[in-house]
Chain A
Amino acid sequence: MDKSPQLPEFELLFVILNYGLGSKVVKLAKQHGVTGGTIFLGRGTIKNRFLELLDLTEIRKEIVITVAVKDTIYKALEVINKELKLNKKDHGIAFTTSVSNLLGARCYKDSYSKESRGVENTMYKLICVIVDRGKATSVIETASKAGSSGGTIINARGSGIHETSKLFTMDIEPEKELVLLLSEEHLSDLIVSAVREQVEIDKPGNGIIFVLNVNSAYGLYPQNK
């Protein structure tokens, strides 16, 4: 283990909830030290005989993702769990996963890539880029030039530390785009640095990039160039 003590360890928190609770989670997380959060919409299914008969089996969900130092995430998660009673049935689910690299969050400006733990070396990396609405296509273009074979855009909303305005009592959460780029490990650094330069991620307020380890991937083919 080559873990150096001064480098913080990051975790990614995922919370899946019924529609309307996403903003509350971000608010709670922000109150407990997390700098921001991103929310996107999903559709969940319901298991219920009666409703299946009526074909009313879809329910709107909100998925919240947020990245922070491990301790902060766990503290926030505990509060979220308590406030939203996640341990009860049908109240939503939450899970965390470790992040291998985080760029763009202001308070962790100088953190760099942490080598993956353990002997197992991952073959693929998932690069997640969160930018303002409208910038995602250019992110994918840049990534493709750097060797990525494609990308997926998810429409989202969210707020960082720079976006704290309110309309009456409601927080305004500007629209974002979450870009998912799956790439081979040796290409990931290249892609990250290209995207980093293009969206000027090191300037505050331009978005964040984080990288997750992927243990196995299918459907990816190396580009024949």
Chain B
Amino acid sequence: MAVLVEKFKEVLFAVLPITVIVLILNYSIIPIETSLIFRFIIGALLIILGLSIFLFGVDLGIAPIGHLMGTALSKTKNIWILALLGLILGFFISIAEPDLHIIAGQIELVTSGLVSKLSIIIIVSLGIAIMLALGLIRIIKDIPLYKILIILYTVIFILALFTSPEFLAISFDASGATTGALTVPFILALAIGVSSLKKDSQASEKDSFGLVALVSTGPIISVMIMSILFKTDKISGVIEYNNDYSTSIIGPFIHKLPTIAMEVFFALLPLLVIFLLFNIFCKVDKKSLRKILKGLFYTFMGLVLFLIGVNAGFMDLGRIIGNNVASLDNKSLIIIIGFVLGLVTILAEPAVHVLTHQIEDITSGYVKRPIVISALSIGVGFAIALSMLRIIIPEIQLWHFLLPGYIIAICMTFFVPPLFVGIAFDSGGVASGPMTVTFILTFAQGVAESIKAADVLIDGFGMIALVALTPLITLQIVGYIFKIKSVKGGIESDG
């Protein structure tokens, strides 16, 4: 039973902090309705249960599929076949991502239907597919990650000059949204599978990371190009938020079940289909096949429970907390609460657990979980605090943070060990998962609603961009510290 207890403990420590913080807020500065608090607690319990099952599912189902395909892909000697397979994989996985459908719907709405939802989904998926193929080629061809990142981000900067501030925010958000809870574990495992066959173990280790990083630049570039081509520089529509929430405790959970179950099912479907097709060509033995199918089932169950917990238990609460915090007189309190919420929310993010376990496995425990998680959590804390600052002071534009942030992050790649560059840029995509997107985003929208100077739409967008940016810097700092500290001491004073 040790396995179950261990996993349960890990998840408990991930979800408890946010629960405790919210309860403390409730009893101190922001009293919240009892029915909401009950829903929050039920939500937290569902999240604990769902996250545990989901993580088992990833270990058993998603990760092995990624590994198998990765090793199979790297055996294809022809680079064009590899690129083609990468394109197909990337396209079908991202097209099914539920988060992408949500953000595409929002874009259609704010551009008053000028850009249709379907075309956005296809364009973003194409962006992801091209980047996935590029990333796979990079691993095989041994091109250093930082060089590609510099090129890609230069392209992004040039495109950004022609993009309106609103679309700048949307494009970065699209990137965060599309690297969701299912895509990230799969892409991570794929990268590890492809690079594991390398003879030089050091190269294999550092190439195991960085694929998520490349993939998440795809949507940024494609949405920017789209906005320039369609000349959709003005945002005209308004997103209607449904502000009244149900007072029933159990109702919202049951209400959300069918939609979420459908979404998760369709997100998993391409993986299942691709795996079954793959199984025709490269037979997997019966026992492993059964295990992987079981794993996919766990993933489905876990993710459904998790998402129901987040959507029904946390979403309304996020907005209420935001509303109430913003109406306090002390504005600096908004920033502090934002920081703390960012700090604890990221702990419960599913992909964070997957990434940190992969890091431990690949580095044989050299880079330990607690270090990566604390760096991530401090990073996200700062991201939320900065977002709050942006809402309170309308003069601050998103690019005031993004431009210096990315310049710092890119410059750091020159002297941080390549392993950590990969880990840092990957965790940027990992940090912006379902937990942050639902809970923190509604919190920010809640704050923006209560502050007159703020524009809910503009300030709401762009926060995910910051969440994806700050971990790049904090994790690279950790990498630099590791580099200094790993130098051997005492050799000169040989006795």
Contacts and interface: CB of A to CB of B under 8 A. Distances in A.
Contacts of B481: 167
A59 B4 CA distance: 10
B364 A39 contact: yes
Interface in A53-97: 54-56, 58-59, 62, 90
Contact of B371 (A133, A167, A205): A167
Size bin of chain B's contact surface: 35 or more
B294 interface: yes
A133 B488 contact: no
Given A56-B60, A165-B486, 19 more contacts: A18-B6, A39-B365, A48-B1, A54-B56, A54-B294, A56-B56, A59-B2, A137-B199, A153-B201, A155-B201, A157-B366, A162-B491, A164-B490, A165-B489, A166-B485, A173-B365, A175-B363, A177-B201, A203-B491
A161 interface: yes
B78 interface: no
Given A162-B489, A205-B488, A133 B365 contact: no
Contacts of B365: 22-23, 39, 41, 62, 157, 173
A55 B488 contact: no
Contact of B486 (A41, A156, A174): A174
Contacts of B4: 51, 56
A133 to B, nearest CB: 6
Contacts of A58: 3, 59
B485 A90 contact: no
A136 to B, nearest CB: 7
Contacts of B489: 162-165
Nearest to B419: A175
A134 B202 CA distance: 5
Q: Which of A46, A51, A56 has the most chain B CB atoms inside 10 A of its CB?
A: A56
Contact of A173 (B1, B199, B366, B370): B366
Contact of B485 (A137, A162, A165): A165
B2 A134 contact: no
Q: Which of B486, B488, B494 has the most chain A CB atoms inside 10 A of its CB?
A: B488
B329 interface: no
A78 B221 CA distance: 60
Interface string B177-209: 000000000000000000000011110010000
Interface in B281-323: 290-291, 294-295
B231 interface: no
Interface string A22-44: 11000000000000000111000
A214 interface: no
Q: Describe B's contact surface by its main secondary structure.
A: helix
Q: Which of B3, B56, B295, B490 has the most chain A CB atoms inside 10 A of its CB?
A: B3
Interface string B49-80: 00000001001100000000000000000000
A55 B490 contact: no
A147 interface: no
A157 B490 CA distance: 19
Interface of A: 18, 22-23, 39-41, 46, 48, 50-51, 54-56, 58-59, 62, 90, 106, 133-134, 136-137, 153, 155-157, 161-167, 170, 172-175, 177, 203-205
26 contacts: A18-B6, A22-B365, A39-B364, A39-B365, A40-B364, A51-B4, A54-B294, A55-B290, A55-B291, A55-B294, A59-B3, A133-B201, A134-B202, A156-B364, A157-B363, A157-B366, A162-B489, A164-B489, A164-B490, A165-B485, A170-B368, A172-B366, A173-B365, A175-B363, A175-B366, A204-B494
B189 to A, nearest CB: 16
Nearest to B293: A55
A127 to B, nearest CB: 19
B201 A167 contact: no
A58 B294 CA distance: 14
A47 to B, nearest CB: 11
Contacts of A40: 364
B53 to A, nearest CB: 10
Q: Which of B60, B295, B368 has the most chain A CB atoms inside 10 A of its CB?
A: B368
A137 B200 contact: yes
A182 B486 CA distance: 31
A52 B423 CA distance: 34
A141 to B, nearest CB: 11
A55 B289 CA distance: 12
B482 interface: yes
A46 B491 CA distance: 43
Given A157-B364, A167-B371, A172 B201 contact: no
Given A155-B364, A205-B491, A167 B485 contact: yes
A18 B494 CA distance: 36
Contacts of A157: 363-366
A163 B364 contact: no
Q: Top 9 closest A-B pairs, CB basis?
A: A134-B202, A165-B485, A162-B488, A157-B366, A205-B491, A175-B366, A205-B488, A155-B364, A157-B364
A106 B495 CA distance: 8
B33 interface: no
Contacts of B291: 55
A41 B485 contact: no
B318 to A, nearest CB: 32
B122 to A, nearest CB: 37
A155 B370 CA distance: 21
Contact of A106 (B6, B295, B494): B494
A121 to B, nearest CB: 36
Nearest to B370: A170
A133 B46 CA distance: 42
A174 B205 CA distance: 14
Contact of A51 (B1, B294, B494): B1
B204 to A, nearest CB: 9
A204 B363 CA distance: 24
A163 B3 contact: no
B142 interface: no
A146 B363 CA distance: 30
A94 B56 CA distance: 29
